[in-house]
Homo-oligomer: A and B are copies of this chain.
Amino acid sequence: MIERVRVAVVGVGNNTSALVQGLALYRQSGSLVGIRRPMIHGLGVGDIDVVAAFATSEEKIGRDLTEAIFLAPNNFPRLDCDLPRAGVPVTKGLVDAGEVQRVATALVGAEVLLYSAPSGRPEIAQAYAAAAHTAGVAFINTTSDPVARDPRLLDSFEAAGLPLLGDDLASQFGTSVLHNALLRLLKERGLTLVSSYQVNLGGTEDFRNLVENPNTKKQSKLNALSGADSVEVAPLGYLPHLASQKVAHLNLEAQGWGETAVSLDVKLKVHDPSGAAGVNIDLIRIAASALRNGRGGHCADATSLLKSPPGTAI
Contacts and interface: CB of A to CB of B under 8 A. Distances in A.
A259 B173 contact: no
Given A172-B190, A201-B199, A237-B199, A31 B77 contact: no
A21 to B, nearest CB: 6
A200 to B, nearest CB: 9
Nearest to A21: B258
A134 to B, nearest CB: 31
A258 B274 contact: yes
Interface stretch (A59-67, A105-113, A247-255, A284-292): A247-255
Copies of this chain held together in the complex: 4
Contacts of A265: 265-267
Q: Is chain A's binding surface mostly helix, strand, loop or mixed?
A: mixed
A114 to B, nearest CB: 14
Interface in A268-296: 268-271, 274-275, 277-278, 281
Given A185-B178, A251-B247, A258-B274, A232 B236 contact: no
A222 interface: no
Contact of A256 (B199, B254, B278): B278
Contact of A239 (B194, B211, B232, B262): B232
A177 B172 contact: no
A189 B201 contact: no
A217 B240 CA distance: 19
A273 B199 CA distance: 23
Interface in A193-249: 194-195, 197, 199, 201, 211, 230, 232, 234-237, 239-242, 247, 249
A228 to B, nearest CB: 13
Given A190-B278, A237-B234, A173 B262 contact: yes
Contacts of A267: 249, 263-266
A237 B197 CA distance: 10
Given A197-B239, A199-B249, A25 B232 contact: no
A97 interface: no
Interface in A146-199: 172-173, 177-178, 181-182, 185-186, 189-192, 194-195, 197, 199
A216 B262 CA distance: 26
A85 B278 CA distance: 43
A257 B189 contact: no
Contacts of A96: none
Interface of A: 18, 21-22, 25, 31-37, 77, 79-80, 172-173, 177-178, 181-182, 185-186, 189-192, 194-195, 197, 199, 201, 211, 230, 232, 234-237, 239-242, 247, 249, 251, 254-271, 274-275, 277-278, 281
Given A173-B256, A234-B239, 9 more contacts: A18-B260, A34-B191, A37-B190, A172-B189, A173-B191, A178-B264, A181-B182, A249-B249, A263-B267
